């Protein structure tokens, strides 16, 4: 039976990566009906929106998408398409494996790191409840906060102060922590670590920690512990081998997942999946790298491994395992890999995006 999958080609280097990932997924022999959709700055220039309704309609129909990177403007422009997709489709959990593959350069290569980061996707500061400095509504909000608060006041004037709201709910925390424990059980993991800053933010992160501890009691077969986020960063650099599944609120999850990617060799080998009642969207952790657009240069591993996670999600377990092995074999051999996977980044034998994808396909066929 063929699977219906939306392929969002993205912008910057996204289309090149989407082509490489599609090639490798198809090489597994799994039948996929690809519905190709465009999103990002390129399509915005033509349609006036970076996220046409057709993209959301397609994912709602297929319940499964492989998404290439999309540019998010810094400090202005349109809001993150990635965040909008997650919120519109109810993709409340972002799961990012950080796994070492032999041949990928890392200071921690000898440790065999294999950590899974489970990040809440819809709440926290990334909910996007923000008030711009100088706006009347911002002044009203600051005035209201100062009026109802006895000791915690915003002392700067609204003309120079931007405000972001950090919502953390029991229900949102319960489902993300339960997702982490269910993932641990399904994949034979032994421990879940909840990360927070409850020592300072007692009513948001404090609620998160209380709720996580309560949910953990329902899983006596899985070890549970908690860590303050700044200490967690230090722990991951000092002794990452001690950690297994890590569950975090949205902002900390975004930061820690990049740290985890750094531990295993960088964003180029870091896949991800976003899941929820509205389906699943699989994507690389890294961005669109627009300066490399059209150069056939960037590492396709992260999106190809995201395709591997997608195959697992679709129940194609054998195909997923074969694809992961093919990726691992090509990287370990070090011959047909992009420049960032070479011992010397200036190595003239480095290949391009398409050539590395083709080498992975050749491994699958062999």
Classify the C-alpha dihedral 274-41-9-294 as positive or negative: negative
Span 150-161, mean pLDDT? 91
pLDDT in tens, 21-63: 999 999 999 999 999 999 988 888 788 888 899 999 999 999 9
Q: In terms of domains, do 4 and 87 share one?
A: yes
CATH number at residue 44: 3.40.718.10
The domain boundary, picked from 206, 241, 263, lies at 263
The distance from CA 7 to its chain's CA centroid, rounded to whole angstroms, is 17
Q: What is the pLDDT of residue 233?
A: 97
What's the confidence (pLDDT) of residue 43?
Answer: 84
Are 256 and 328 contained in the same domain? no
User: Average pLDDT in the 297-324 region?
Assistant: 97
Cβ within 8 Å of residue 267, ≥6 positions away = 258, 261, 284, 285, 286, 287, 302
pLDDT the model gives residue 73: 60
Cα(86)–Cα(63) distance, rounded to whole angstroms? 13
343 and 285 belong to one structural domain? yes
Burial 26-38 (b: 16+ CB within 10 A, else e): ebbebebebbebb
In-domain check, residue 153 = yes
Residue 97 covered by a domain: no
Does residue 101 form part of some domain?
A: no
Residues 156 and 173 in one domain: no
Nearest 10 degrees: Cα torsion 274, 245, 229, 131: 10
CA distances from 320 to 210, 240, 307 (A): 37, 26, 8
Q: Are residues 300 and 253 in the same domain?
A: no
**Do residues 212 and 177 lie in contact, with contact meaning Cβ atoms separated by under 8 Å?**
yes
Known catalytic residue: 53?
Answer: no
pLDDT band for 113, please (50, 70, 90 cuts).
very high
Q: Which of 214, 235, 263 is the last residue of a domain?
A: 263
| Alpha helical stretches, state H, 168-288 | 170-186, 205-216, 229-238, 250-263
Instruction: Please say whether the beta carbons of 41 and 79 come within 8 A.
Output: no
Q: Give the H/E segment covering residue 345.
A: none
Catalytic residue among 63, 67, 197, 363: 197
Residues 154 and 301 in one domain: no
79, pLDDT greater than 80: no
With a cut of 80, say whether residue 263 has pLDDT above it.
yes
Across all residues in the chain, what is the average pLDDT? 94
> Distance (Å, rounded) from C-alpha 180 to C-alpha 200?
24
Give me the pLDDT at residue 310, please.
98
Q: Which of 11, 124, 205, 254 is catalytic?
A: 254
Give the CATH number, domain containing residue 181: 3.40.50
Query: For residue 291, is it within any domain?
Result: yes
Q: Which of 230, 318, 347, 362 is catalytic?
A: 230
Q: Name the percent of the chain lying above pLDDT 90.
A: 83
Residue among 126, 208, 243, 252 flagged as catalytic: 126
Contact 305, 328 (CB under 8 A): no
**pLDDT over 60 (residue 77):** no
Pair (224, 296) in one structural domain: no
Please indicate, yes or no, whether residues 188 and 331 belong to a single structural domain of this protein: no
| The pLDDT of residue 96 | 97
Residue 114 sits in the same domain as residue 242: yes
Give yes or no for a contact between 179 and 118, defined as CB atoms under 8 angstroms apart: yes
Domain ranges, residue 308: 1-91+273-366
Asked about 230 being catalytic, the answer comes back as yes
Q: Is residue 98 part of a domain?
A: no
Q: Copy the structure tokens of residue 137.
A: 């509504």
Instruction: Dump pLDDT digits (tens) for 220-245.
Output: 999 999 999 999 999 999 999 999 99
Residues 122 and 134 both lie in one domain: no
Pair 86, 173 in one domain:
no
Same domain, 115 and 226: yes
Q: What is the pLDDT of residues 339-360, one digit of tens each?
A: 999 988 888 999 999 999 999 9
270-293 pLDDT, tens digit each:
999 999 988 999 999 898 999 999
Domain termination residue (choose one: 207, 230, 263):
263
Number of domains in the chain: 3
For the ranges 36-50, 59-73, 101-115, 244-258, the lowest mean pLDDT is seen at 36-50
- pLDDT, position 75: 46
Token pair, residue 357, equals 């994808």
Q: Please give the average per-residue pLDDT across 161-173, as a whole number.
A: 97
Does residue 99 sit within a domain? no
Is 100 within the bounds of a domain? no
* Local confidence band at 210 (pLDDT 50, 70, 90 cut-offs): very high
């Amino acid at each position: 039976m063929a699977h219906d999958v939306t392929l969002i080609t993205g912008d910057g280097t996204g289309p090149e990566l989407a082509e490489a990932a599609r090639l490798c997924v198809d090489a597994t022999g799994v039948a996929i009906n690809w519905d190709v959709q465009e999103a990002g700055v390129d399509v915005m220039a033509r349609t006036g929106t970076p996220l046409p309704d057709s993209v959301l309609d397609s994912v709602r129909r297929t319940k499964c998408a492989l998404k290439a990177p999309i540019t998010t403007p810094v400090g202005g422009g349109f809001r993150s398409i990635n965040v909008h997709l997650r919120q519109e489709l109810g993709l409340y959990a972002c799961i990012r494996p950080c796994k070492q593959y032999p041949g990928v350069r890392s200071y921690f290569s000898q440790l065999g790191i294999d950590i899974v980061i489970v990040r809440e996707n819809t709440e926290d500061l990334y909910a996007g409840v923000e008030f711009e400095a100088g706006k009347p509504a911002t002044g009203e909000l600051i005035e209201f906060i100062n009026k109802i608060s006895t000791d915690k006041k915003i002392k700067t004037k609204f003309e120079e102060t931007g405000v972001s709201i950090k919502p953390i709910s029991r229900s949102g925390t319960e489902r993300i922590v339960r997702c982490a424990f269910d993932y641990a059980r399904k994949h034979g993991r032994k421990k879940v670590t909840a990360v927070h800053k409850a020592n300072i933010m007692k009513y948001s992160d404090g609620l998160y920690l209380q709720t996580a501890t309560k949910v953990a009691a329902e899983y006596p077969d899985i070890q549970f512990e908690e860590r303050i986020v700044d200490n967690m960063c230090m722990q991951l650099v000092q002794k990452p081998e001690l950690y297994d599944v890590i569950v975090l609120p949205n902002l900390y999850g975004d930061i820690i997942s990049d740290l985890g990617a750094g531990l295993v060799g960088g964003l180029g080998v870091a896949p991800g999946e976003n899941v929820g009642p509205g389906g699943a969207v699989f994507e690389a952790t890294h961005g669109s790298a627009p300066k490399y657009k059209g150069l056939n240069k960037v590492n396709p591993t992260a999106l190809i491994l995201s395709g591997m996670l997608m195959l697992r999600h679709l129940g194609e377990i054998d195909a997923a395992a074969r694809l992961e092995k093919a990726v691992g074999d090509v990287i370990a051999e070090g011959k047909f890999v992009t420049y960032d996977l070479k011992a010397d980044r200036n190595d003239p034998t480095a290949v391009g995006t398409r050539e590395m994808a083709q080498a992975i396909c050749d491994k699958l066929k062999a």
